Amino acid sequence: MHIVHYLQRIDLEEGGVVRAVLDMGALQASGSRTVTLLTHDAPDAPELWKRGEPGAPKLEIVQPPSRPLGLFSSAQLRAIEPILKRADVLHLHACWTNANNQLASMARRLGVPYVLSMHGMLDDWCMSQKTLKKKLYLAMTGRKTLERAAFVHSTAEAELEQSKKWFPKGRGRIVPLVFDLDPYRDLPGPGAADAHFGPAGTGDIDSDQPVVLFLSRIHPKKGLEHLIGATALLRERGVPCRTLIAGTGDDEYLARMRLLAKERGVENDVRFLGMVTGELKTSLFERADVFALPTSQENWGFVLTEALACRTPVVTTKAVDIWPELEQSGGSVLAEQSEGAFADAIKALIDDDVRRASMGASGREWILENLDPAAVADRYESMYADAIAKGAKA
């Protein structure tokens, strides 16, 4: 089976969609499948992909769309056509990409079925942002692309429930994202984080204080202001903690959050660490007593499964599409998106060492048992096989 994935840019600072495609492609290529990643730029593609190593996805770097509105020119489409001709199935990612509509149309013409992963972009919160523009896009071309897909891929039941109204004649299929367990099977311990950032990332602050970690793209939808507010409330209640903010993103929002920490009197309790990756990231998860993500919307939320894999209890909201799975894991607390609710949930965990340890163990066990990559790969294989059986007539 030859699978062609299309994503405009492979840059991990752009968030979870990139991570999803990288993990998906790597796992699929490790089996008997041929995987091609069609993209315009790939700064964060693994080196063995760039070298064209056997058993790795093949990178096909093409020029970005040259026409207005992110559309390919006729000449560009002719250059891409031989790549799609070799495919058994095309896997498109994200809803709001005009080039996806062109590639979907080409795939139908060539008789190649395609799957489109929404990555949470049709969730209710997402559709409440720039609603008119998105409705116009769907009315003009987007809905047709969705409804003619062999499958519209969701990662959880909650995502499909929210999005189905936007493609009522389409066919949804639920398959979880690939979660690479290898970095989490043998955990490195918290020492690397302490050595890199100072004692628990704070240096001159009492290292006996509990650590609350936020690690994600810095973006208004992540609700970071609620966590900074919760940190201030906890200090007022005599339960100071060190809140570590790891990630990069929206500079204006980040500046507002720094100012908010100062205004709430917790500039010494909150530290902004920047981008943290690799084993150092895993060590930072282990160093934290609680992982907190007061998000307004999340499709899968790799950081949530990463925290659980590191035995770190999670506090987040039901705005995460996999919230039932997080609840089932036994390693998560679901709170309202407010500083008071997050302060209460964090304090309850900080005050109970036994509960924290139990939740950490339960969460890790659930991840290792339920997100086995081989089993997830089989579900993708089945989805692609069913897409091929349906053909490209839809």
**What is the CATH T-level fold of the domain 2-178+373-389, as seen in this structure?**
Rossmann fold (3.40.50)
Report CA torsion sign: 375, 381, 384, 390. Answer: negative
Choose the CATH number for 182-370 among 3.40.30.10, 3.90.640.10, 3.40.190.10, 3.40.50.2000: 3.40.50.2000
Domains of the chain, by residue range, sit at 2-178+373-389, 182-370
Six-digit token pair at 357? 């340890």
Six-digit token pair at 218? 């810095």
pLDDT of residue 127: 96
pLDDT of residue 198: 80
Report the predicted TM-score, pTM, of the whole model to 2 decimal places.
Answer: 0.83
Six-digit token pair at 293? 């993500």
How far out from the chain centre does Cα 185 lie? 20
pLDDT of residue 394: 44
Q: What are the DSSP calls for 342-382, one per residue?
A: HHHHHHHHHT-HHHHHHHHHHHHHHHHHH--HHHHHHHHHH
Q: Does the fold of domain 182-370 match that of domain 2-178+373-389? A: yes
Looking from the CA of 195 toward its CB, the CA atoms found within 13 Å total 9
Residue whose C-alpha is closest to residue 158's, from 116, 117, 124: 124
| Sheet architecture: strand order including 58-61 | 58-61, 34-39, 2-6, 89-93, 114-117, 151-154, 172-174
pLDDT beneath 50, residues of the chain: 205-206, 394
- Give the model confidence (pLDDT) of 244-293 as tens digits: 999 998 899 999 999 999 999 999 999 999 999 999 999 999 999 999 99
